[in-house]
């Protein structure tokens, strides 16, 4: 089921640049009538220069409520700038990567250090 929203209020899909958001766990509650046995996808207006942190706050989500989230398949950092057409996966704090995502986050499972941001 795909819903089209602007900061979680319905609008026409012809309104311009959009961001596709896949909601998981308790974030599905942001969409009335969504069910755990179906995809919960919303479309939100794109805002030029908006960071991931500002984006989730615009949705009414606090960063302390976030688990491991993704922008176009990459682990999202608060400072990443969202682009038109990006696909965002929002997971709540109680849904984390299997094994804590040690490889993706760079904790001892790779041979070099990578920059890691924490929510």
Residue 24 sits in a domain of what CATH number?
Answer: 3.10.20.30
Geometric angle at alpha carbon 71, from 27 and 114, rounded to 5°: 115
Q: What is the pLDDT of residues 49-73, one digit of tens each?
A: 999 999 999 999 999 999 889 999 8
Label residue 100 by pLDDT band (50, 70, 90): low
Q: Is residue 119 part of a domain?
A: no
Parent domain of 48: 2-105
Q: Is residue 23 part of a domain?
A: yes
Q: Is residue 116 part of a domain?
A: no
Q: Is residue 76 part of a domain?
A: yes
Q: Is residue 113 part of a domain?
A: no
* Residue tagged 């760079």 (tokens): 106
Domain count, the chain: 1
Which range (26-40, 45-59, 74-88) has the least confidence? Answer: 26-40
Q: Is residue 117 part of a domain?
A: no
Q: Is residue 58 part of a domain?
A: yes
Decide: helix, strand or coil at residue 44.
Answer: strand
Secondary element (H or E) of residue 102: helix 102-105
């Amino acid at each position: 089921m795909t819903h089209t929203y602007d900061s979680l209020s319905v609008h026409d899909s012809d309104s311009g640049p959009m961001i596709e958001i896949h909601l998981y766990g308790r974030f599905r509650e942001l969409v009335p009538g969504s069910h755990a046995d179906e995809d919960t996808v919303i479309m939100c207006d794109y805002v030029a220069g908006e960071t991931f942190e500002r984006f989730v706050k615009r949705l009414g989500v606090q960063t302390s409520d976030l688990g491991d989230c993704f922008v176009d398949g990459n682990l999202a950092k608060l400072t990443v700038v969202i682009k038109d057409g990006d696909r965002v996966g929002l997971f709540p704090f109680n849904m984390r990567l299997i094994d804590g995502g040690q490889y993706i986050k760079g904790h001892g499972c790779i041979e070099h250090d990578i920059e890691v941001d924490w929510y």
